[in-house]
Amino acid sequence: MEFSAEQIAGILSGDIEGNADIKVNNLSKIEEGTIGTLSFLSNPKYEEYIYKTGASICIVNKSFIPNKPLPETLTLIKVDDAYSCFAKLLEFYDSMRQKPAKIEQPSHISESAKLGENIYLGAFAYIGENVVIGNNVKIYPNAYVGDNARIGDNTTLFPGAMVYHECVIGQNCIIHAGAVIGADGFGFAPDENGEYQKVPQIGNVILEDFVEIGSNTTIDRATLGSTILRRGVKIDNLVQIAHNVEIGKNTALAAQVGVAGSAKIGENVQIGGQAGISGHLHIANGTRIVAQSGIPSTVKKADTLMGSPGIPLEDFKKSYFGFRKLPFILTKLNELDQKLKSLTKD
């Protein structure tokens, strides 16, 4: 699909410098721009690339003034905030690629299921008994929605996403390929012979509105009650969230984070990749946890934590500085020990 500079400027309320009729049909980073692509410049660090980019159109801030000649083939669209405007275009471009409403075959829809309007259901998708699906939902091929599950308006399940029975997915959620919502929590109890007996997991998972779940992430159903992700939570790929966990509004977890059972994570928390959160603890609103950190106990006050166990970032830096000097310190101690021994002999 092609758009002219004039059309794009109209969408963004921008000013054109160059050829208003020039057209683009793709997007690119400014350093990788080619003819027919649209790019943007907001970070001065990348300004050097605008003087040699092959892109046909570039979105820039109104404050941008070139300090050398621009390529003759380049048209500028000047806006108040280039980054947010480019993000707006990305959203618009993505919406143009959405699947139209249709039900592909073969797919399975239980007779008791209730489907809203403008549904896209891909081939080999499975919709179980008493499922309720809202309006404008998109369920891609090979996705599964178990019995009694509910899917809110404008939510998307990408290929192979699994929503187990009884789970509740809110409005405007995105569940990426291979994610599993509502598998059994890791509940086992050893018997008198030391053999593990499975504890039935009869709760569910609730995702509130505007939650996004990355590819191959797993969110376990509660033993009793619900595992809950509040409004606006963002979960990266390959994250494990155990049974009965609660995650507060607008909290974000990066890839390979593991959260153990019954942990309660507050609002606006940020957790870096490969961090581990122990079970049955609370993490205060606004806490930041650096990648690969381990949190073994409750965090009562918002802070930036690093290390395992996690400690305040500045304390960790001081401790790490001392740790790096340990070989030098040990050498000095050994020298002092040798001197003391020689003095004692004398």
Compute CA distances 42 → 47, 83, 224, 307, whole Å: 8, 6, 49, 34
Q: Identify the pLDDT of residue 104.
A: 96
Instruction: Return d(Cα 213, Cα 82) in angstroms, integer.
Output: 28
| Average pLDDT of the chain to the nearest whole number | 94
Q: Could you tell me the pLDDT band of residue 346, with boundaries at 50, 70 and 90?
A: low
pLDDT for position 320: 78
Rounded Cα gap, residues 148 and 39, in angstroms? 45
What was the pLDDT predicted at 327? 87
CA pair distance 167, 119, nearest whole angstrom: 19
Residue-wise pLDDT tens digits, 99-148: 889 999 999 999 999 999 999 999 999 999 999 999 999 999 999 999 99
Tens digit of pLDDT for each residue in 31-58? 999 999 999 999 999 999 999 999 999 9
What would the pLDDT profile of 302-316 be if each residue is shown by its tens digit? 999 999 889 888 888
Supply the pLDDT for residue 342: 84
Catalytically annotated residues:
243
Give the whole-angstrom CA distance, residue 178 versus residue 108.
19
Looking at residue 280, its pLDDT comes to 97
